[in-house]
Structure 1
Amino acid sequence: MKKLIVFIMLVSGTFQASFPQNSSCRNITAVSQVVIMTEEEKVNHLIDYIRHLSGSVFIRNGKEYSPEKAADHLLSKWKKHKKKVKTAQGFVERLATYSKTDEPYMIRFSDGHMEKCGDLLSLELQRIEI
């Protein structure tokens, strides 16, 4: 039985695996790169995420809006308040969850189920921060 020894190196944020010369796997290299987003990039990603929820309806103060209109609304709130709200988490909690009337922003998906916008964006933020 042959033993396969794999060497893994971390070089400048990438993972590389190298295999011994006599291995049948010697031409395989695994590379993974970690991308670190700024808080501004995270917020822009979240707004873009809303913009591309095709088939869904954004509900604000009882009125229905397209995902594009919803994203434009959230972007305008972000531009107005980003000096006070410094993080993507703050954006979700303070700007993308409730209207001025304290009603939660809701999203109705094409299959009919509804979710709070803040909950949806919190999940997406967790996903991109991993």
Structure 2
Amino acid sequence: MTGETREFYNDELAADGIYTAVTKWETTQVRKLTDLVVKHHYWRDQAGQLWLNFDDMMENPRADFIAYRKRKGYLTPEQLQHYRQARHLTKAALADQLDIKAQAITQLETNLRVQTDEQEVELRRILGC
């Protein structure tokens, strides 16, 4: 994707502009892990400033969460959803067992949030994996 150019409207600048795709390997932190090396995607404007993906502002944080789960050996969003559905649990029912909100289950299953160490242990116990 590096090198691709596209025109975007930048809300922050209140202007259209031509941007070039850039990918960079960066060291990032998720929770207490401070040394995750993750490939991030940006759009560079003509002044050289890097911007998050205009179409998906959570693209880089999701990549960070994937790397975090892999390093920790945590269940992935897809696995969480699969095991929950296989046990015929609604998001609300699983959330009740974890003492969290159903919205948190949705965020875990869509990779917008990572589980804590304690939640991972409980998820594995409840889901039988």
TM (normalized to structure 1)?
0.24
User: Higher strand fraction: Structure 1 or Structure 2?
Assistant: 2
**Bigger CA radius of gyration:** 1
More relative contact order, 1 or 2 (CA 8 Å, 6+ apart): 1
TM-score (norm 2): 0.24
